[in-house]
Amino acid sequence: MTASSPASVPRRRTPLGRDRLLAIGLLLPSLAATAIFVYGFIGWSIRVSLSKWTGMLPDYTFVGLRQYLDLFQDRRFAIDVRNTAIFTVLFLVACLALGLFLAVLLDQRLKGENFFRSIYLFPLAISFIVTGVVWRWLMNSATGSRISGINLIFQSLHLDFLISKWHLTAPPWGIAFIVIPAVWQMSGFTMALYLGGLRAISDDLREAARVDGASEVQTYRYILLPILAPVTLSAVIILGHISLKIFDLIVAISQNNMALDVPAVYMWRTTFDGNNYGQGAAIGVLMLVTVAVLIVPYLVYSMRTEEEV
Amino acid sequence: MTPTPSRRITRLVMYCLLFFMAIFYLLPVYVLLVTGLKSFAEVDLQRMWALPTGIYFDNFLAAYQKLAPNLWNSLRMVVPAALISSVVGSVNGYVFSKWKFRFSEIIFTLLLFGMFIPYQSILIPLVQFMEWIGLRGSITGLVMVHVVYGIAITTLIFRNYYAGVPTEVLEAGRMDGAGLFGLYRYIVFPLSIPAFVVVLIWQFTQAYNDFLFAVVLTNNRTWPVTVALNNLAGSQIVQWNVQMAGALITALPTLLVYIFLGRFFLRGLMAGALKG
């Protein structure tokens, strides 16, 4: 509402209108920064993606959608898309299942709840690079006398059938093993979301279910889980956009292994190592479109529901 | 509820499950610690699970020697980034929650979108821009980038927090003649210490753990520790045990923050799920 709007006619003489303008003024630096660094840069990326810029010096010669068409013909990009699809599906399913499982376990009000919760959550504080460096050694695929890492544990437990080549498994399944460290890092977050959801449900509801003769399992299955549906939606959105953008973890683990490539890594390599700026911009724009499909409906939905409150 | 035998067995099973899962999360920590504490002589990939025979700091010293300048770069970058971000977020959150104006919800949503974009989609213009203003390669440039791309999340956290400050309190202040700045200075700001802690911790970990911005915007003199660690890990010369010690050193600052201020850390995380 602006100062001239009749609804805000002040009953007493206060400089409310001036303060309102000042308030908007306070926002201006942030709004300008976002306008430039987010929307302006996205626009400029789109422009670059429509150019033939290859090499150190900018070349904005307009080539239409050629960079995109080339990408759709590109074998490396096809591998990237496949890897992202496998990674995203497995990552989401594993995080949601493990997160829900841990949340339900911790919801039983056992002793040491805080202790276990902190253990499940701490990987979140760590950088993906650290996670990658450590898990690369844990998932060491050396065999015979040089066996080490988790394979070594399997061997000494006589569980030889579990010994794996991990992320060096033949494509397309190598990427599936990078889901393990990703889940190690992010499942605690999913657990915390679900636990928050469970704790927000009133005890009366559980009590009512018990009075009606529902078993503990039935209570979860038919009463509590359906209430948690919005939590699942939030989790899918957050984990999904992390997965579509996954970058550092892949860089740290794969160390340039093409079979484990994803769009985020391809964009970085082709732009800054290969100087294929036009192609890099096109990959960036395609990533943005994929994430936007997931995020925009969610943001609009959040805005609508918040206005109702 | 009286514990029946069957209930006791269920409890036992649940504890077993909790312990088993804890092992999964702690496995990497165990390897980091035992490897880090071994002497160079006993480091052997085939014995990586064995406990060290004593406590040695060979690996840590070797890793620290390589990472110290970068660790310092990281801290010089992260502290100002977190401080500036929290001030910006607080002011924005105050306006968006207490000085709503026409279209403010839409503008806020447009702002939030910036939180989710894949940074690859702005990376080329960003590098060109930083080059143009002469800040590519500098720590100042990296601070600026973290502040700008942190606007969305910090504003969100403060806005959600201030939504809990009753409007009546501000009305009362207004009656007493306080304006935009007075209300902030005397009522809102003193109430917002918890939100400041959440945002400071959040931005600290985000900026510290970042790799993408760092790797394209800094050079070998200004690399933060994440970039240096990745180079260490990619090197054929550096032993794996030194890499492990380096990973632990890199993880330590954020890990300490998590251990001592975990509650606040979690709140920042939950804000990412929008409905804080």
Q: Which tens digit of pLDDT belongs to each residue from B86-110?
A: 999 999 999 999 998 888 989 999 9
User: Considering the domain boundaries, does residue A3 fall inside one?
Assistant: no
Of A24, A291, A299, the CB nearest to B112: A299
Q: Where does B59-271 sit in CATH, by number?
A: 1.10.3720.10
Burial (Cβ within 10 Å: 0-12, 13-18, ≥19) of residue A28: exposed
Nearest to A50 by CA among A40, A60, A39, A58: A60
Of A124, A142, A307, the CB nearest to B269: A124
Tokens 């683990």, residue located: A253
Query: How many structural domains is chain A composed of?
Result: 1
What pLDDT, on a 0 to 100 scale, did the predictor assign at position A214? 85
B219: which residues sit within 8 A by CB, 6+ positions away?
Answer: B137
What pLDDT, on a 0 to 100 scale, did the predictor assign at position A206? 85
User: Considering the domain boundaries, does residue A42 fall inside one?
Assistant: no
What pLDDT, on a 0 to 100 scale, did the predictor assign at position A247? 96
What pLDDT, on a 0 to 100 scale, did the predictor assign at position B92? 96
Residue B270 scores a pLDDT above 80: no
Shortest distance, CA A204 to any CA of chain B (angstroms): 16
SS (H, E, C) chain B: CCCCHHHHHHHHHHHHHHHHHHHHHHHHHHHHHHHHHCCHHHCCHHHCCCCCCCCCCHHHHHHHHHHHHHHHHHHHHHHHHHHHHHHHHHHHHHHHHHCCCCCHHHHHHHHHHCCCCCHHHCHHHHHHHHHHCCCCECHHHHHHHHHHHHHHHHHHHHHHHHCCCCHHHHHHHHHCCCCHHHHHHHHHHHHCHHHHHHHHHHHHHHHHHCCHHHHHHECCCCCCHHHHHHHHHHCCCCCHHHHHHHHHHHHHHHHHHHHHHHHHHHHHHHHCCCCC
CATH of residue A126's domain is 1.10.3720.10
Asked if omega into B5 is within 30° of 0 (cis), the reply is no
Q: Where in chain B is the domain with CATH 1.10.3720.10?
A: 59-271
Residue B275 scores a pLDDT above 50: no
Express each pLDDT in B219-238 by its tens digit. Answer: 999 999 999 999 998 887 77
CB contact under 8 A, B46 and A119: no
Residue B204 scores a pLDDT above 60: yes
Express each pLDDT in A140-163 by its tens digit. Answer: 888 777 788 888 888 888 888 888
For testing contact with chain B, the best of A67, A126, A193, A285 (most B CBs within 10 A): A126
Do the Cβ atoms of B164 and B93 come closer than 8 Å? no
Shortest distance, CA B220 to any CA of chain A (angstroms): 15
Q: How many CB atoms lie within 10 A of CB B190?
A: 9
CB contact under 8 A, A26 and B92: yes
Do the Cβ atoms of B97 and B162 come closer than 8 Å? yes
CB contact under 8 A, A105 and B226: no
Average pLDDT, chain B: 90
Confidence at B117, pLDDT banded by 50, 70, 90:
very high
Residues of the domain holding A229: 81-308
Express each pLDDT in B127-174 by its tens digit. Answer: 999 999 999 999 999 999 999 999 999 999 999 889 888 888 888 888
CB contact under 8 A, A245 and B120: yes
User: Considering the domain boundaries, does residue A74 fall inside one?
Assistant: no
What pLDDT, on a 0 to 100 scale, did the predictor assign at position B3? 59
Q: Which residues does chain B have within 8 Å of residue A122's beta carbon, measured at their own beta carbons?
A: 25, 255, 258-259
Of B24, B92, B269, the CB nearest to A27: B92
Do the Cβ atoms of A195 and A106 come closer than 8 Å? yes
User: Considering the domain boundaries, does residue A210 fall inside one?
Assistant: yes
What pLDDT, on a 0 to 100 scale, did the predictor assign at position A14? 52
- C-alpha–C-alpha distance, residues A71 and A228, integer Å: 40
Phi, psi of A259 (to 5 degrees): -65, -20
What pLDDT, on a 0 to 100 scale, did the predictor assign at position A221? 87
Confidence at B25, pLDDT banded by 50, 70, 90:
very high
- Which chain A residue shows the shortest CA-CA distance from B184? A23
Shortest distance, CA B38 to any CA of chain A (angstroms): 16
Per-residue confidence of chain A (309 residues) as pLDDT tens digits?
334 444 444 444 456 788 888 999 999 999 999 999 999 999 999 999 999 999 989 999 999 999 999 999 999 999 999 999 999 999 999 999 999 999 999 998 888 888 999 999 999 999 999 999 999 989 988 877 778 888 888 888 888 888 888 888 888 899 999 999 999 999 999 999 999 889 888 888 888 888 888 888 888 888 888 889 989 998 999 999 999 999 999 999 988 888 999 999 999 999 999 999 999 999 999 999 999 999 999 888 887 877 654
Percent of chain B with pLDDT over 70: 96
Of A15, A40, A131, the CB nearest to B179: A15
- Which chain A residue shows the shortest CA-CA distance from B15? A110
Q: What is the ipTM of this complex?
A: 0.92
User: Considering the domain boundaries, does residue A61 fall inside one?
Assistant: no
- Which chain B residue shows the shortest CA-CA distance from A278? B124
User: Considering the domain boundaries, does residue A8 fall inside one?
Assistant: no
What pLDDT, on a 0 to 100 scale, did the predictor assign at position B263? 75
